[in-house]
Amino acid sequence: MTQDTALFPSRPLLVIYAGGTLGMRESASGLVPGGDIEARLARALAALPPAHHAALPAYEVLSLGDPIDSSAATPREWQRLAGEIAARFREHAGIVVLHGTDTLAWTAASLAYQLQGLDRPVVLTGAMQPLEAPGSDAADNLALALAFAANPALQEVAIAFGGRLLRGVRARKWQTRRADAFASPSYPLLGERVDGDAVLYPGRGLAQQQRGAPRFELPDYAPLADGGVARIVLWPGIAARQLAAWLDDPRLKGALLEVWGGGNVPANRELIGVLARASGEGKLLAALSQCPHGGVEIGHYAAGQGLAAAGVLSADAMTPEAALAKLVHLLAQPLPDEERRRRFLTPLAGER
């Protein structure tokens, strides 16, 4: 444990308000962004049962200008948040990020790659309803995030939501309305609320694997923010010309292909040729399964041999959010093609 790590439990948490439903207010035209977030958070937490409120750690609030509508977020917002955290994390025991739920898992995955080697918690949360809505889940989610962010044993990016703590780079939004909106289909929970306490499960976190100082990677995502990486879901009857419309675009630097089963694609020479041409041009291509559980094993079936021949990489059992964010992260860096490919196949933040 470094001297910095040993001291930080006495420091207040930092709550970064990035936007989302949690901070919205009702209006005649529907939900709109609301201001005065620090006072509103304090009022919501004060309404919790006295014992829960008394146990909350000290925190400070940073409200980003122009709150993010998470459905409109791009890699620029991922970069902006990582920059804010990197500039401030040593002043705080942990970080809580309040974010819209639509793309919260995408942001969490990207932060995990940008903030590799974290020596304290970064916990994202949000809400399905605004702070002041009757029966809102906002205060409970915030209190849970604060509790986990104050635990120095958590040393990675995570999501606290609906009573559970999930690895950020393994999480997906699974429900559109339910309070337990997020799931971790390929990795167990990092922790849960048990009898009112935020319990971190031993042996599941990254802390045991990390040594030394944080090794943040904060490249410029802007060149990739406007469609530099595509997510392409195959469908029965997809034609080579349709795939080429994506992959032949010179502005495209990489693509995530969502294929069938354990890694299958049509045995179509023209379609495989499009993939091979893109890969040969240095575009970083990866494949994962359309199935929510289980990984891709390229070449296991004859129907998947074309992917291997075309140089498409296996995303194993990564989530789409984690796989695409990783492509963006690697392509934003000045790396040789072979090093990018090697790093995609290597776990960087517990994503595979």
Active site residues: 21
Residue 203 has a CB neighbour count (10 Å cut-off) of: 6
Question: Strand 13-17 and strand 95-98: pairing?
Answer: parallel
Which secondary structure element, helix H or strand E, spans residue 347, and what is its range?
Answer: none
Q: For residue 254, give the DSSP letter.
A: E
Q: Are 101 and 21 in contact (CB under 8 A)?
A: yes
Nearest to 114 by CA among 146, 92, 89: 89
State whether residue 80 is helix, strand or coil. Answer: helix
Q: Are 315 and 287 in contact (CB under 8 A)?
A: yes
Q: Are 311 and 285 in contact (CB under 8 A)?
A: yes
Q: Are 64 and 19 in contact (CB under 8 A)?
A: yes
Question: Strand 254-259 and strand 229-233: pairing?
Answer: parallel
State whether residue 177 is helix, strand or coil. Answer: coil
Rounded distance, CA 305 to CA 170, Å?
Answer: 27
Nearest to 316 by CA among 350, 284, 339, 287: 287
Rounded distance, CA 9 to CA 7, Å?
Answer: 6
Q: How many residues does the chain have?
A: 352
Q: Are 158 and 131 in contact (CB under 8 A)?
A: no
Residue 223 has a CB neighbour count (10 Å cut-off) of: 13
Rounded distance, CA 311 to CA 239, Å?
Answer: 19
CA angle 219, 182, 62 (to 5 degrees): 50
> Residue 344 is encoded by which pair of tokens?
């995609």
